[in-house]
Amino acid sequence: MPDLGACYKKSGQCLFTVWAPFLKALSLHLTGKNDIFLPMAMDAKGFWSIDVLQAPPGTRYTFRFEDGKDRPDPASFDQPEDIFGASCVVDHSAFWWQDDDWKSPQLEEMVFYELHVGAFTPLGTFEAIIERLDDLKDLGVNALELMPVAQFPGKRGWGYDGVFPYAVQHSYGGPAGLKALVNACHLKGMAVVLDVVYNHFGPEGNILAEFMPCFNEKYQTPWGMAINFDGPDSWGVRNFLIQNALYWFRHYHVDALRLDAVHGMHDMSAKHFLKELCEEISLFPRKVYLIAESDLNDVRAIGPFDKGGWGLDAQWNDDFHHALHALLTNERQGYYGDFGKVAHLAKAQKEGFVYSWDYSSFRRRFHGSSSSEVSAKHFIVYSQNHDQIGNRLKGERLSGLISFEGLKLAAAAVLLSPYIPLIFMGEEYAEDSPFLYFMDFKSQELLQAVREGRKKEFSRFQWKEEPVDPHEETAFLRSRIDWGRRIEEKGAVMLSFYQKLIRLRKSVDALAHPDKERLKVRTDEALRVLTVIRWFKESLVCVVMNFNSAEIQLTSGALLPGDWNKILDSSDTQWLGPGNINPGVITTPVKNLVFKPQSCVVFEKISGGARNSLQTR
């Protein structure tokens, strides 16, 4: 298939290609002081193209239809004048990359940090993020995950309403800004993950349907008509998105793509679009990753090709989040009604999915498939992310819902789990500003539809208050994180606590290897305690998590016989906790061990080795 968009060659020469199989005529309109109209030719597959000798970088252009109106390029690489303006020629070879020796961390070695470019710094640009990379590296992060940066309406938004999948949001810094950020991350040893949206296109400024049959009316999604993955002429739509994925890897050097809401991709083809995408990506000359967001609990998404899977490298695990959130907050509205027991988090720790063809009262049906045989490296877990915060009525973070002790417990549950952890921006220092949904649509009809849609969504959680208007600029401004809180007492202590957890995760063998096979869980539902035992070779660790709001005592039976070093206790005074009387070194058996309310204590075996200790059980 030909490369889409304005592919600049050299010496001013540029090849323009667009797929528009049902148009009868199309012209390239080079805009400027002297408008130039050049008729394009269509091949047998519906690709229109023209090779122009003088269209240097920066040239503005549109496509002129038979009706005499112009449209931007659906595969535009840059939209300097927002979504309604002309497209712009970009020379992707002009950027000076310095990452020739770059080798991404393995997926299972990553610690993700999700951020929104506009809300991460006061300037809200790629360049401003670069100035904060050392802070993230000091935290222990080695994978920066960006919420969508494809061009969307206006100057503020989450990015999930993008209408130019190949263009980089100009207000963030455009193509050069994103490349500079990726380059800087690689020089500091950090991978870059980009969130892309292949389940729907944004409603405002969407010109894609005027070029190609991109929608399939057979299916509906929460965002309107579904993308055409299996209808007539769907091959060209699939090609448009597959080329887009390769485009980010090739021209922007990103290391992974996070695919938004793949449950919104309706495809009854013999080869699902995601499988075809994985097959194409596997041919890329360096190792890159595809990560799914899905609420289906369907292991096919991350299953290997030879077992009927689609081959994605990993997926977000909402069940882990819901189980942890319900235990910490005692919320039972909406989908949290399916959770709330220690056993739910125990199953998430041991298997991955909590609902593996179990009855869901929220869905009123059986839900999910078993992930017990799926490797831990295929799951990404979190206590917070943009969705779980921003889709609340008030956009509250956990810091606005639970105690400081509970925040430390949440961090330990995620960062000491057998899965790949994700931190949402500001979480590491207990940021308490909300993260609200915000957008900048111009259409009043769309604005009203968004407002009504969110009210309907909130009603499922029995939230009765009036939500913040997402179009008001204050919704965006209130969502910016406050870097000054990192140096205030509680913020600084929480930051140190996160750093400690990440160091333990990387330095203790039993914690450093995502592995569900070398893991045992024990629960005490009455006491609301979860104990997780993990081992690797001679390393053995016992993590005790107390979700009780009261102090509890356990016998030393929680620990295997031998000598144990207490390597972390979230209730210690150095973490602004109430203090604990348990000694730093414990030789079992002892009468009782004390666990403060909502605390996490980590013990590491000193003597005997993991293999010998486990054999004595």
For 177-204, what is each residue's pLDDT tens digit? 999 999 999 999 999 999 999 999 988 8
Q: Tell me the residue length of the chain.
A: 617
Residue 294: pLDDT above 60?
A: yes
Residue 24 phi/psi, 5-degree rounding, is -95, -25
Selected residue with higher pLDDT from 30 and 34:
30
Asked whether the beta carbons of 560 and 613 are under 8 A apart, the reply is: yes
pLDDT tens digits, residue range 296-350? 999 999 999 999 999 999 999 999 999 999 999 999 999 999 999 999 999 999 9
Instruction: Tell which residue, 532, 539, 533, 530, has the closest CA to residue 506.
Output: 539
**528: confidence class by pLDDT, cuts 50, 70, 90:** very high
Asked whether the beta carbons of 530 and 343 are under 8 A apart, the reply is: no
**465: confidence class by pLDDT, cuts 50, 70, 90:** confident
* Range in 80-84, 145-149, 276-280, 402-406 the model is least confident about: 80-84
- Return the pLDDT at 395: 94
Burial 281-310 (b: 16+ CB within 10 A, else e): beeeeeebbbbbbbbebbbbbbbeeeeebb
Pseudo-torsion of CA 556, 409, 313, 337, nearest 10°? 100
Asked whether the beta carbons of 230 and 216 are under 8 A apart, the reply is: yes
Q: What is the pTM of this model?
A: 0.96
Mean pLDDT of 117-146: 98
Domains along the chain? 5-94 (2.60.40.10), 520-615 (2.60.40.1180)
- Please list the residues that pair with 566 across neighbouring strands: 603
Asked whether the beta carbons of 59 and 9 are under 8 A apart, the reply is: no
- Return the pLDDT at 442: 81
Instruction: Tell which residue, 221, 212, 284, has the closest CA to residue 247.
Output: 284
Residue 257: pLDDT above 80?
A: yes
Asked whether the beta carbons of 442 and 154 are under 8 A apart, the reply is: yes
**Which two tokens mark 523?**
């629960």
Active site residues: 260, 293
Residue 615: pLDDT above 60?
A: no
End-to-end CA distance of the chain: 61
Residue 447: pLDDT above 80?
A: no
The pLDDT > 90 percentage for the chain reads: 86
Residue 27: its H or E element: strand 27-30
The Cα–Cα gap between 326 and 10 comes to: 58
CA distances from 471 to 152, 464, 477 (A): 14, 20, 11
**613: confidence class by pLDDT, cuts 50, 70, 90:** low
Instruction: Tell which residue, 48, 43, 54, 46, has the closest CA to residue 8.
Output: 54
Residue 402: pLDDT above 50?
A: yes
Asked whether the beta carbons of 251 and 97 are under 8 A apart, the reply is: no
Which DSSP letter does residue 147 get? P
pLDDT tens digits, residue range 213-224? 999 988 988 887
CA distances from 497 to 420, 424, 435, 491 (A): 18, 15, 23, 10
- Return the pLDDT at 616: 42
Centroid of chain to Cα 130: 20
